[in-house]
Amino acid sequence: MSMFCFQCQETAKGTGCTIAGVCGKKEPVSAMQDLLIYNVKGLSWWMDKANQLGITLDAKTDRMVLNAIFATITNANFDRKAIIALVNETLAAKKKIRALVEPKLNDVQIPGAAQWEATTEEDFDKKALLIGVLAETHEDIRSLKELVMYGVKGMAAYAEHAWNLNHTDKDIINFTTHALAQLLRTDMSVDELVALTMKTGENCVKTMALLDKANTSTYGNPEITSVNIGVRNNPAILISGHDLRDLEDLLEQTKGTGVDVYTHSEMLPAHYYPKFKQYENFVGNYGSSWWKQVDDFETFNGPFLFTTNCIVPPRANANYADRIYTTGASGLEGAIHIADRPEGGRKDFSAIIEHAKKCQAPTQIETGSIVGGFAHAQVLALADKVVDAVKSGAIRKFVVMAGCDGRMKSREYYTEFAEKLPKDTVILTAGCAKYRYNKLQLGDIGGIPRVLDAGQCNDSYSLAVIALKLKEVFGLDDVNKLPIVYNIAWYEQKAVAVLLALLSLGVKNIHLGPTLPAFLSPNVAKVLVENFGIAGISTVDEDLALMIG
């Protein structure tokens, strides 16, 4: 089998993509991504040894590792040439660090990934056939190793966003390289891997806390905001993905140009940050969730900037294929890629701005607004009001419906679930899962909206902070005694990082859907069920009865 990938929720037949990815990834790209992960593990082995020996390495290598891992997340990079370039970068770094470390090692067995060298694409393709996911034949070991790997992928994405805002944590980098080095071991037991999984969850919490600090210290604490979903009569750029630093650079360079900027999908929460409100040309949000771009982009008329994952390769007859720009870890064959910012400078977005000036204004597809901005600082500012509502019985339960959206028709479950929730319940959300219900008119409870949007998927950290604070306020000894239930949708690896983070914080009885991950073997799934109460979803009515009563 030349391709096997089961890292996302929509994987073919719920088992694995073997011909082409449901995401649009083709076998040649999949092979290079497998090879990149293999080589990053090998590089990480040397970096882990360097750390143990007290050898200081260039911070650029740390950043390269994060970026290389990020490029393999679902829907991030479909450009084989870009992935090959990353393989070559990691090979060069591995060779350099090996020369520093190997002379100081005594009688240590070096894993194959740490030794592997090659120079041609032909060599790359031959090696890729041998080192994919299925190279690990023990089902439970493979399942746990992939669970750790996908948690690390989510961590790497969040750590890179923080890095772009000059917030780093060497301990997070050291854990990342240590975890990847451990995944090369052929003698790891199930118990050791379970422990590594939980340690990954702890570091996912640290990484999300780091990114939260980076975002809020740079742009202010998110505040309650009404976001316009209509349009103006100016040419415009639509920015997607997650990276706030890229948005800042773009807004600075579009000031006074006559070009407006709109957000799409996971960039919507950028409107909640006070600093971004100073830009008069930062107009609003256009369209819906990431997978709806195949329709939303047809009517936008201007160019699109992908800052991270969430790319859907355009259909053959799409009218916007020549208006796609990528940057950072994202990539798409045929798209124009904008280079990284120079040290201490900004990315150069002049090409996409000049392109936008030649385009028509966006076609209006809806009117009105979306209210959000309920990250932890804002909700805690309303804590007295929230506590009173709970004590009086006005709010019976909070329902965490964070996570990801996706194409599957089964995800209509989440819209129906939100619509049928009793009017004395409040939804806590983060991530693009919100698009299943954030435009519904669900009302409020004593002035508290029934949908509290904390922000992007990484802002699930805010929901954890809120839960822990409420536990303290109510004098409880266990977060699971709060009137909070969890009905979370997942799609890709950042959602895995969020899940592991919640488990490490002691949260139990999480319902995960619309399907459980294909990479969980029956035995590993059993462990999660027995130890943490992880469960799938059923029908809306059955789950409402179970979760709400």
The CATH number assigned to the domain holding 121 equals 1.20.1270.20
Domain with 131, as residue range(s), is 12-218
User: Which secondary-structure segment (H or E) carries 452?
Assistant: strand 451-453
In a domain, residue 374? The reply is no
Pair (386, 307) in one structural domain: no
Quick one: 229 and 213 in the same domain?
no
- Cα 52 to Cα 101, 167, 207, distances in angstroms: 10, 24, 22
Whether residue 205 sits in one domain with residue 67: yes
**3-state helix/strand/coil string of 341-378:** CCCCCCCCCHHHHHHHHCCCCCCCCCCCEEEECCCHHH
The predicted-structure confidence for 473-488, as pLDDT tens digits, reads as follows 999 999 999 999 999 9
Number of domains in the chain: 3
Do residues 335 and 277 both lie within one domain? yes
Interacting residues of 323 by C-beta distance below 8 A, sequence separation 6+: 297, 302, 303, 304, 355, 359
Distance (Å) of CA 69 to CA 39, 81, 112, 378: 10, 16, 19, 33
* Residue 339 and residue 388 share a domain: no
**pTM of the predicted model as reported, rounded to 2 decimal places:** 0.97
> 247 and 134, same structural domain?
no
Does residue 514 have a cis peptide bond before it, meaning omega lies within 30 degrees of 0? yes
Please tell me whether residues 147 and 163 are part of one structural domain: yes
Number of DSSP helices (H) and strands (E) in the chain, helices first:
18, 15
**Same domain membership, residue 329 and residue 286:** yes
Last residue of a domain, one of 184, 218, 252: 218
Look at residue 367 and tell me if it is in a domain: no
Backbone torsion region of residue 230, taken as left when φ is above 0, otherwise alpha when ψ lies between -120 and 50, otherwise beta:
beta
Q: What is the pLDDT of residues 23-71, one digit of tens each?
A: 999 999 999 999 999 999 999 999 999 999 999 999 999 999 999 999 9
SS3 for 460? helix
> Mind giving me the DSSP string for 73-136?
STTTB--HHHHHHHHHHHHHHHHHHHHHHGGG--S-PPPHHHH----SHHHHHHHHTTSSGGGS
* CATH number (domain holding residue 507): 3.40.50.2030
Q: What is the mean pLDDT of the chain?
A: 96
pLDDT at residue 2 in the model = 81
Separation between Cα atoms, residue 224 and residue 375, nearest integer Å: 9
Q: Note whether residue 5 is domain-resident.
A: no
Kindly tell me if the per-residue pLDDT of 1 is higher than 60: no
* Same domain, yes or no: 203 and 259: no
Query: Could you say which of 357, 389, 423 is where a domain stops?
Result: 357
pLDDT digits (tens, 9 = 90+) for 177-224: 999 999 999 999 999 999 999 999 999 999 999 999 999 999 999 999
Q: Which residue has the tokens 């949708």?
A: 489
Region of residue 353 (left: phi > 0; alpha: psi -120 to 50; beta: else): alpha
Q: In what order do the strands lie in the sheet with 260-263?
A: 282-285, 260-263, 236-240, 304-306, 324-327, 336-338
Which of 275, 253, 251, 274 has the alpha carbon at shortest distance from 263? 251
1: in domain: no
Task: Tell me, yes or no, whether 398 and 349 share the same domain.
Answer: no
In a domain, 366, yes or no: no
Asked if residue 373 belongs to a domain, the reply is: no
Contact between 174 and 131 under an 8 Å Cβ cutoff? The reply is: no
438-459 per-position pLDDT tens digit:
999 999 999 999 999 999 999 9
Domain contains 448: yes
Nearest to 352 by CA among 450, 459, 240: 240
Cα maximum dimension of the chain:
69
Helix (H), strand (E) at residue 164: helix 139-164
Residue 293 sits in the same domain as residue 392: no
Asked if residue 112 and residue 72 are part of one domain, the reply reads yes
Tokens of 508: 């139990």
Domain assignment present for 474 = yes
* Domain finish residue from 197, 218, 239: 218
